[in-house]
Every structure is written in structure tokens, then in C-alpha cells.
Structure 1
């Protein structure tokens, strides 16, 4: 456990909780390392049947911690955020997410790689990569258009529009919205999974993922390389400076 990532195994379920409310559960490189280690542990231990990921009651995660991100930018496939992406994508055990409040950036794209996603009523998904001078990540440029259609995906990925909990369910990104006790109700789903035959569960998940696995891996790698390249672009520098200075970004000088 780190200060901000809490893990415990209860009833054959590994629970991963993002708990950094003073920074809206923003993720640092050490938090990515902690979640990667927890996921790897879950995949290796036969007594763990399911994985449950959540944040605090009113916030999932606001995405990357900007200060930490600028101090430790991803530079290649072995960077903490990319290791986390691969580990979650390749996880053999079923992953259940419970989300309320902000799910920004990777907080939204990681949901595309979970097996079950349950939301609280205040859940809001946003992928503001282009606004930051960056590009989509985590195969979102492949998976999101397939789920919501090209035009809506363009609004979400290019304009960075916010998706409500109801729309996330209607488009297939999430399973359901729970008005009350969303974490406990999502955890009940994890308990049901954990009570089922574990080898059969793993095989069913593998069979469902296999048809797109190579394409998803290729897209993650392509996006990752472009993301690292974009980080050093003048547009991204302007966007980050504007964010830190709490002013509107000015992209008018760029072609």
C-alpha cells in the first residue's frame, strides 16, 4: 500500500482504492507502480478470483497529477503509466470498476479495459487530451468509436466533452448507474464473480478479448508513441503552462 493507493484482499477479491481526496485522486508515477504491482499480484495468486477498482465516494480520479506528470513525463513503454496500461489490458482475472464523480483522462480510458463498470449518479467521464495538446491514449481512439459511434467519439476525444453516467450506460461503456451505495452494489457484483468457477471465468474473459487483442495492443503502442512525441510539442507546452497559470490556452500562433 502507498499513501494514496489502498489495497486489501477480502472474500477472494483484490480491492484497489484510489484515495487522495486533497488532489481529487490525481495519479502519480508511484501510484501507477502500486496499482501495477497489485494487478500483477492478483493475476499470480490463485486465491484471488476478481479485482475491484474504485476511488473515494465522490471522485474516481481526476487523471494525472500535473506537477508529477511534468516532473516524471512518460518517455517510453517502460514508463509507469504504460506498464499500468499493459498490466490492466492483459489481466486474466475479471476487473470490476465502481466510479462516481470525476473520471478524467486515464480515469475514463481505463474503464474501456474493465470487464464490468458501475457508476454513481454523479459520475462524469472526460478525455481532454487534445485540449492539452496531446492525443488519445489507451486504445481509446479504437474502442470509443466502436462503442459510441464516430461522431460522438469525435466530440469526446477532439472537443473533450463530458459524458454523463446515463450516457455511459446507454452507449455501453458502463453497465449500470446505482443511485445509492454504488460502491457496495458494485462490490456485490465482484462477489458474484468470485463465487463462480475461476478457470471458466478466465477462459470466458480470454475468449471475449482475443478477437481484438492484437489490434488493441497495436493501437495502444501507436497512441503511446504519439503521446510521448506530443508531450514535447509547443502546443502541449502552452496547454500545460496555461493550466498551471490558470489561464486560457492560446493556440493561435500554431499551424
Structure 2
């Protein structure tokens, strides 16, 4: 458990069988993220990646709002040293830890998701949102530009016009719009979000970890690529490897016995 000790006092972690459950716990500040909270989140994601007993990561938040984005006090206190850090800063270090995780990531959203509260979702595998959720990037209204790969990922996921609504017009998307556009996978009643998010995460934990890892790697390789023939070959290589694995053989034998 020492590897999971959090330093900020605003990020909770709990191992629930093979699930690492991470909760933003700064509801009085709308779960705005500080430098130390990012460090905690990175620590949690890296732990999920290094522990073979962990099969999935679930991120959720306390209170009525998922995340107000970066803590403005941290932003206002930025220095030239912070600027020089660039992509090595704590926020993008956290994003890169999500990108590197070859295990399923579920994020549960209620209320507003602002700034990185929305852009972190682009690095999750499945986003489940309450029907009261709203998605807002805020960068243009702060005279800033997109972050966390959102200028590439948003047009790819939800289309250029919808991405321009978030990144240029500064619109907020409703949960219904986000579901229709493909920004989220599920939209559920607010009072069932916690239960349904846990059910979804536990469902993923029950899948083959090796198959899950390979599938995520294949999806990452294929995203944005026009090398269809190469992707078919990569899939075939992994498929053949898995087909002759002891795990798959055991599942098939069990199925055949049940059919017989």
C-alpha cells in the first residue's frame, strides 16, 4: 500500500479486488486540480500499470461537479521555469501516464467537466456520464490554446465542426450531445452513475488482461493510420498468438463441454 500513498489530501485510492478506484476529493473547490493532485493521479496510474493484480482503473469524483479543470491559483502562479518544463509539467505527465496504461480506463463524470476535466476523457477507454453532465474546454475564453492532444483527438473522435464548438466557439456540450457525438460511451441517470460505473469497471476487470492489453495496443496503433493492410497483419499476429495460448484453449474447451 505504500506505493499508493497520496500526498495532496484530495485524491483517494482504493483497491477493490482487481480494480484500482481513484476518486477526486476536493468537492469544495469543484475538484479543481493542483500540482500535487496531478502527482497523486500520476502515481496511481503508474501503480495500475506496474501491478499485475490490477486489471482496470476507474476515476470518479466527489460532489456535484466532476472537475473544474486546473486550479486557477496554480495557473496564476506559473513562472518561466514552469514554462520551460513544458510537456514535463505535472498535468501532461499525468496525461502521458494515462496514455501509457495498457489496461482499461473508465472515467465517470457528473456535473461539469471543464478544461482538463474534459480533455483527460480523450485518454480513457470508456467514459460513463450522468445525464446532468456538461463538457466545456474553456481554453479559448482564457485566451489559451488546446492541451493534452485535444486539437488532434477531438476532431478525430467527434468531428471537426463539433470540435470547433468546444475549442473555438467555447460552447458547452450536454451529456446527450456528447453521447451522440461519441465523446462518451454511456449516459445514465445521475443517481445511478456510481453504481453503473462500478459495474462497468468490474466487467472489464473480468476480461482477459492479456487480451485487453493487446487490444488497447492495436487500437492505439490503428488510430489515425491509413495502413489497413499493416493493421490486418498486426491483428493476425496477435490473434494467432492468443488462439494457441493456454488461456484461450481453456475457454474454448469449457465452451465445448457445455455445448456437448
Do both share a fold (TM > 0.5)? yes
The equivalent of 1:5 in structure 2 is 11
- 1:41-80 equivalence runs, <5 A: 41-72=47-78, 74-75=82-83, 76-80=86-90
The equivalent of 1:192 in structure 2 is 203
The equivalent of 1:244 in structure 2 is none
d(CA) in 2 for partners of 1:194, 1:57: 26
Contact 1:28 1:69 in 2 (8 A): no
* Runs of 4+, deviation exceeding 6 Å: none
d(CA) in 1 for partners of 2:64, 2:224: 33
The more displaced of 68-77 and 9-18 is 68-77
Cα separation, partners in 2 of 1:213 and 1:85, compared to 1, 3 Å: farther
Per the TM alignment, residue 113 of structure 1 is displaced from its structure 2 partner at its CA by 0.8
Per the TM alignment, residue 147 of structure 1 is displaced from its structure 2 partner at its CA by 2.2
d(CA) in 2 for partners of 1:65, 1:7: 21
Per the TM alignment, residue 152 of structure 1 is displaced from its structure 2 partner at its CA by 2.0
Per the TM alignment, residue 143 of structure 1 is displaced from its structure 2 partner at its CA by 1.3
The equivalent of 1:205 in structure 2 is 216
Per the TM alignment, residue 121 of structure 1 is displaced from its structure 2 partner at its CA by 1.3
The equivalent of 1:154 in structure 2 is 164
From the two aligned structures, give the one with the greater helix fraction.
2
The more displaced of 80-89 and 99-108 is 80-89
Per the TM alignment, residue 206 of structure 1 is displaced from its structure 2 partner at its CA by 0.9
* SS of the residue 1:77 aligns to: helix
d(CA) in 1 for partners of 2:158, 2:44: 31
d(CA) in 2 for partners of 1:136, 1:77: 13
State whether structure 2 residue 24 is matched by structure 1 residue 18.
yes
Per the TM alignment, residue 213 of structure 1 is displaced from its structure 2 partner at its CA by 8.1
Per the TM alignment, residue 29 of structure 1 is displaced from its structure 2 partner at its CA by 0.3
Q: How many pairs does the alignment contain? A: 214
Structure 2-normalised TM-score? 0.79
- 1:195-234 equivalence runs, <5 A: 195-212=206-223
* SS of the residue 1:17 aligns to: strand
d(CA) in 2 for partners of 1:160, 1:183: 29
The equivalent of 2:138 in structure 1 is 128
Structure 1-normalised TM-score? 0.81
d(CA) in 1 for partners of 2:47, 2:158: 33
d(CA) in 2 for partners of 1:96, 1:175: 10
Contact 1:89 1:113 in 2 (8 A): yes
d(CA) in 2 for partners of 1:137, 1:79: 12
The equivalent of 1:99 in structure 2 is 109
State whether structure 2 residue 32 is matched by structure 1 residue 35.
no
Per the TM alignment, residue 72 of structure 1 is displaced from its structure 2 partner at its CA by 4.1
Spell out, residue by residue over 1:122-151, the C-alpha distance to the aligned partner (whole angstroms, 9 max, x if none). 110001101111101111111111222212
Q: Quick one: higher RCO (CA 8 Å, sep 6+), 1 or 2? A: 1
State whether structure 2 residue 180 is matched by structure 1 residue 170.
yes
